Every structure is written in C-alpha cells, then in structure tokens.
C-alpha cells in the first residue's frame, strides 16, 4: 500500500486483534496473530495501557480493550446521524421478526460488523460488533460485492476464496451466479456458508445508487421455515426502501472501501 506508515499499521493491528478476543489475549498469542515479535510489541502495549486504549490484567496476563476505545466508539455512534437512523430501523426489524439484525460495511475483502440488535430468542446468533468475516461467505458481504466485476473480485481475493463450511462458495463462477440472483431478487443469502446452523438474509443500502453498507437478519436453520423466511425478506426490503429514502437526503457518506 502506498504511503503506509508501518508503525501505525502495527498499532492498529494490535488493537483490532485485541478487540476480536472476547476472553482477552496474552502476549504470546498476540505476537503470533499479528506477526510482530514480543520485543517490538511489548512497548506498544505498554503505551496503549498507559493511555487506557487497552487494559492489562496482571492476574492472568491478558490484554483487553480499554475505556478510551469505548469512548471513541460511543462518540462515533452518537455523532453519526445516519447510523442512528439505521439503528432505529434495525430495532423495528427485530421487533417484527424477533431475530438478530446486523449492519456491516465492506472493508476491502471483508465485512466489518458495525452494529447489531439482538432478539430475545433463547437460541440466536452469537457475534460481536467489530467482527470481520470474508465478504464472499456472508449475506452482508455478497449484498455489497454484487456490483463489482469479476476482475475487481479477483483483485480483492488474489489467493482465492476461503471456505468455512461445505456450503461455502468456492470459485468466481458460483459467486457470480449468486450475484445474479441478488440483483434479480433484491436480497442476498448466506445459506449455512459461515455456520452450518445458521442462514442469513441481507440487503444492500445505497445512497444515490452507491452501496455504502448492508443490513441482515440471521436465523437458526431449525427456525427457518417458509413463513419465517418470507417475513424476514419482506421486512428487510421494506426497511431498505425507508433507509435509502432517508440516505438520499443526506450528504454523501464515504465509509466503504471495496475498491481501495
């Protein structure tokens, strides 16, 4: 990447890895996951701890996200009107179908999950804001990738596609077939491609024709009967229209980076 400042990249990588570790992470694990040796990573961790961006639990030698990250995150959501507006629509979706609703953006070849409304079902999807997943496998990701050409897709995935289950898409031809269905039907499907116990439906969110994000509803496979699936699809498509009408009245939002 041009003009990339690698010391800054290292710091960001460390924070991202810690944020994705629900139970904390120790120095050895962090070094292995980031590819940064312990001698280099330790002073970075010490500085982040001093400024409260991460916490260090001496009793078990684990690092966690700190209050400064939480403050930044809260400030971002409070000041970003369009995210608050979409969050309200997501709450309506959950109230209607009682299944978890998530929002994601496209960050190169990955979906970054930036918001989530949980349902009150006893069995439901376990996921976190800040999670990243290959966009080719998730309904959110496919809803946002479908405008890209095969050449652009191959640039995002020079080493091919990752498979997580036997249902995962394996090549560009099959992915293009799914894209054609998304364009035809107006929604994307993850049919147990990430988790064999879960299916997911998603719609892209456009501002003046440009995809900026997507929202989804995930359903445990055993609950995904015909009536439930139709309800979820109808709710998503209705919400998409309301959200896009509101987005078109706002200034341009620059958040996705699918072509970066």
Q: 149-176 pLDDT, tens per residue?
A: 999 999 999 888 888 899 988 889 999 9
In whole angstroms, give the CA distance from residue 35 to residue 32. Answer: 5
pTM (two decimals): 0.69
* pLDDT value of residue 79: 52
DSSP class of residue 161? Answer: -
Cβ neighbours of residue 129 closer than 8 Å, sequence gap 6 or more: 113, 114, 115, 116
**Six-digit token string for 38:** 């312990």
Q: 231-247 pLDDT, tens per residue?
A: 999 999 999 999 999 88
53-73 in b/e burial notation, b at 16+ Cβ within 10 A?
bbbbeeeeebbbbbeebeeee
Q: 99-118 pLDDT, tens per residue?
A: 999 999 998 889 988 899 98
* 3-state secondary structure (DSSP) of residue 230: helix
């Amino acid at each position: 990447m041009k003009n990339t400042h690698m010391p800054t990249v290292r710091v960001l990588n460390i924070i991202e890895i810690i944020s994705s570790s629900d139970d904390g992470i120790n120095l050895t694990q962090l070094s292995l996951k980031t590819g940064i040796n312990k001698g280099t990573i330790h002073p970075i961790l010490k500085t982040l701890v001093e400024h409260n961006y991460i916490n260090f639990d001496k009793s078990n030698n684990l690092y966690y996200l700190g209050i400064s990250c939480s403050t930044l995150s809260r400030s971002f959501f409070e000041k970003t009107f369009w995210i608050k507006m979409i969050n309200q629509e997501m709450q309506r979706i959950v109230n209607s179908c009682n299944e978890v609703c998530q929002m994601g953006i496209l960050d190169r070849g990955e979906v970054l999950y930036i918001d989530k409304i949980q349902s009150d079902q006893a069995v439901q999807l376990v996921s976190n804001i800040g999670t990243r997943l290959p966009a080719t496998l998730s309904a959110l990701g496919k809803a946002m990738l479908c405008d890209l050409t095969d050449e652009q897709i191959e640039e995002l995935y020079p080493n091919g596609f990752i498979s997580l289950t036997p249902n995962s898409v394996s090549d560009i031809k099959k992915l293009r077939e799914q894209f054609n269905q998304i364009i035809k039907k107006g929604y994307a499907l993850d049919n147990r491609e990430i988790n064999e116990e879960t299916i997911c439906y998603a719609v892209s969110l456009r501002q003046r024709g440009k995809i900026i994000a997507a929202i989804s509803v995930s359903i445990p496979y055993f609950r995904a009967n015909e009536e439930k699936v139709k309800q979820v699809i109808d709710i998503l498509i209705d919400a998409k229209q309301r959200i896009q009408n509101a987005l078109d009245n706002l200034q341009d939002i620059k958040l996705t980076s699918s072509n970066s």
